Structure 1
Amino acid sequence: MRFSLMRFTPLIVCALMIAGCSSSILRSASSQIIAKDRDFIVLHVGNEDARSLARRYLGDKKHYWVIEDANQATPIKAGREIVIPLRTTNPTGIEFSGYQTVPILCYHRFGQRSDRMEVTPEQFREQMEYLKNKDYRVIPLKDLLGFLKGERQLPKRAVVLTIDDGHRSIYKEAFPILKEYGYPATVFVYSDYMNNGGLKTSELTAMKKSGLISIQPHSKTHSNLTVQQAGESRSKYQRRVRQEISIPNDRLTQYLGERPRFYAYPFGDSNDLVIEELQANGIQLGLTVQRQSNAAFTYPYLLHRTMIFGDRDMQAFKKSLVTFKAFRQ
């Protein structure tokens, strides 16, 4: 949501001009409304921050980013005049110059080897600290669904975290760091690995109860769903695909008491048959591992994700955080 004076109503524009030239509005402990219409509030900020203002005027302190995004050139601090949008104006993030994109980062294992598929806890903490220091907003995957439907506005620098397979290092190494930063993430598990070398039911339950972690399916056996195996008839292939989707869905529902809505394809591969089975099972989003960020018009069953590898440096991590794509001139 990028604002300019040209988009404000005449009431708001006049209020900003008057507030900018007048000394009659004195600094106080509480914020003062200068002007208001159905779309915006113009506010003289008292001793409050964006979170307290969001709680008061938007009904939820978690919407603080709406105020910060609308006032990028104006710090939210005492004595400043700011604009508070009261309703969504651009849920798809499409603008004259380009469009918003949301990167989905994909991790696998955590440990001390720092090889291609294993990220060290130190690397992971450094990456989470970078997101915090650079004002990226880590959002749950479920928020992306509303963005793709054109119903939900997201922070300009929104990022989604996902972790595949269900290795126990997720609980031991990544989960404590995510709790420390308060960052939500989606863990995709293949059900044959649960309680069988991978995450235990008790660990899955503990992560879900934290309110930060969503547990979603990554197939039953982690076999490639787009490859018809040697000697496998078409009917057997179709039955295998159906089981690779329905069985983990049923198991996660049994263990966690909630029907899955998202699915990460093994090896990131999908086809029409797999997508049809997802839809038949009530799955709303399908995730690949194609390196690219996601615009509001991205096909929900072929969402892009960027793999985060342990043998890459911070520069590679920074390049994965593409949150706006300009139209070509």
Structure 2
Amino acid sequence: MTRKIIVFVFVYILFLIKPYSIYGYHEQEIPILMYHHLEENINNNTVISPENFENQMKLLKMEGYHAISAQQLYDYLNGQTPLPQKPVLITFDDGYFSNYEKAYPILKKYGMHAEIFVIASRILGNNENNHYPNESAKMSWDQLKEMKDYITIQSHTWDLHYKLPSENGKLNGAVFGPSFVNGQLESQDAYEDRVRNDFIRSRKIIKEKLGYEPIAISYPYGIYSLSTLKIAKEAGFKMAFVIQNKHVKKGDAIFTLSRITINGNDTGEAFIHKLKATPEKTYKQAA
């Protein structure tokens, strides 16, 4: 009788012990943070001051968050690799020089990995000056190489970060669908060829310059269509990101993974709330 009781207690304890206690929860909700540019004394939806960015990275460290890579996220979502407890994916869009000059040293200081989605046509070669004087300066390929210990480069298209008039006359993202190009409405095939060639070109140049192909793309402005998703897959991407201000979990569509807009004005409390909560409201999308 005593032996039966011992066996029963043992089985009961095994039932109570969750098999994921070492590696993190099975149904983790992963915050994917979206940043853009860093600038002194400016804080809004697309710009954050270096001081506030450092405060946020410090908070991540203090709260026990582990900055993961896009590859780790992909492996987890496909059931291949467990994630650490309290994972977070830190991302930047566009490829601003401030990411190298200001964000990179802070990421290194706190041991945080990040992904930068670059507009590949804007990345400078050796000794090149900024080709777009009306835009904030972008990085060079050498600077991207230098950051490889804490940063992986992904695609934000080769050169489709703008809007075009669509069939209904309204401006829409250049990757969204058939648009008026040079005054003519392109066919579905022409649209798909235009976007596919751009996506493939972005992957090829990153492979040529950095030695690896990006696995992910973030759609400019977070705008996409079903055709965009199909083209991204055809171009060789394994995953893609939009802006829906909610967390990512297993079962989410791999080509519309949500990111959370981080405002430079977020207080520490607001920042941590975005990490812990899944907001129902979708905030204004950024580039």
Normalising TM by the smaller chain, what interval? 0.7 to 0.9
Give the CA deviation at 1:12. 11
Aligned partner of 2:30 in structure 1 is 102
Partner of 1:299, secondary structure, is coil
Give the CA deviation at 1:250. 1.0
Which of 163, 171, 179 is 1:229 aligned to? 179
Deviation per CA, 1:269-326: give whole Å up to 9, x if none.
222222222222221110001100011111111100001122333332122103789x
Partner of 2:255, secondary structure, is helix
Matched letter for residue 118 of structure 2 = V
Matched letter for residue 100 of structure 1 = Q
Distance 1:252 1:199 in 2: 13
Considering Cα pairs closer than 8 Å and 6+ residues apart, tell me whether 1 or 2 has the greater RCO.
2
Unpaired stretches in structure 2, ≥5 consecutive residues: 1-7, 125-130, 132-136, 163-172, 280-287
Percentage identity across paired residues of the two chains: 27
Question: Residue 157 of structure 1 contacts residue 323 of structure 1 at CA under 8 Å; is this kept in 2?
Answer: no
Aligned partner of 2:109 in structure 1 is 180
Deviation per CA, 1:233-261: give whole Å up to 9, x if none.
12332222112211111110110111111
RMSD, aligned CA? 2.7
Give the CA deviation at 1:152. 1.9
Partner of 2:71, secondary structure, is helix
Partner of 1:228, secondary structure, is coil
TM-score using structure 1 length: 0.67
| Higher Cα Rg, which structure | 1
- Count residues with an aligned counterpart: 242
Question: Residue 100 of structure 1 contacts residue 323 of structure 1 at CA under 8 Å; is this kept in 2?
Answer: no
Matched letter for residue 273 of structure 1 = S
Aligned partner of 1:199 in structure 2 is 139
Question: Residue 101 of structure 1 contacts residue 323 of structure 1 at CA under 8 Å; is this kept in 2?
Answer: no
Unpaired stretches in structure 1, ≥5 consecutive residues: 1-7, 15-38, 41-65, 71-84
Q: Does 1:156 align with 2:85?
A: yes
Aligned partner of 1:217 in structure 2 is 155
Structure 1 stretches of 4+ with a deviation exceeding 3 A read 8-14
Q: Does 1:259 align with 2:213?
A: yes
Distance 2:9 2:66 in 1: 29
Matched letter for residue 146 of structure 1 = D
Aligned partner of 1:244 in structure 2 is 198
Partner of 1:304, secondary structure, is strand
Question: Residue 44 of structure 2 contacts residue 264 of structure 2 at CA under 8 Å; is this kept in 1?
Answer: yes
Distance 2:233 2:153 in 1: 18
Aligned partner of 1:32 in structure 2 is none
Partner of 2:250, secondary structure, is coil
Distance 1:135 1:188 in 2: 25
Question: Residue 67 of structure 2 contacts residue 88 of structure 2 at CA under 8 Å; is this kept in 1?
Answer: yes
Aligned partner of 2:50 in structure 1 is 121
Residues 303-314 of structure 1 mapped to structure 2, 5 A cutoff: 303-314=257-268
Partner of 1:321, secondary structure, is helix
Distance 2:110 2:68 in 1: 12
Partner of 2:196, secondary structure, is helix
Question: Residue 262 of structure 1 contacts residue 284 of structure 1 at CA under 8 Å; is this kept in 2?
Answer: yes
Question: Residue 100 of structure 1 contacts residue 324 of structure 1 at CA under 8 Å; is this kept in 2?
Answer: no
Q: 1:244 to 1:322 in 2, by over 3 A?
A: farther
Distance 2:119 2:197 in 1: 12
Give the CA deviation at 1:226. 0.6
Q: 1:147 to 1:324 in 2, by over 3 A?
A: farther
Aligned partner of 2:74 in structure 1 is 145
Deviation per CA, 1:205-234: give whole Å up to 9, x if none.
1112x2x11001101221321143222312
Partner of 1:172, secondary structure, is helix
Partner of 1:282, secondary structure, is coil
